[in-house]
Amino acid sequence: MKILHNPRCRKSREGLKILEDSGQDFTIVEYLKEPLTKEQLSEVLSKLGMSAMDLVRKNEKEWKENFKGKEMSEEEVVAAMVAHPKLIERPIVIS
């Protein structure tokens, strides 16, 4: 199991605590320090059965200033998330 984690985010810290309390083995990926590649993010989306737009933090400054209101393909949204990892909703837990 793997958690994509941002230690500055309250919800991400809460998610990490739940995993720690579960006693299961897992890996922590601080995705702001270790950004995901396009391929890794696409794999996460596939495992979750979600579109890239489903995982975009639409209230982030980068989104509002650079992407809000633009017609974007799935690939373009993934590229934006890879270029600006803060746009990725968190926490994300995958197996």
Taking the C-alpha atoms of residue 47 and residue 74, their distance in angstroms, rounded to an integer, is 16
C-alpha separations of 54 from 17, 27, 58, 71 in Å: 24, 23, 10, 15
Amino acid identity, position 49: G
Cα–Cα distance between 31 and 53 in angstroms, integer? 18
9 is catalytic: yes
Q: Single out the catalytic residue among 2, 9, 13, 79.
A: 9
Q: Is 3 within 8 Å of 16 (Cβ atoms)? A: yes
Active site residues: 9
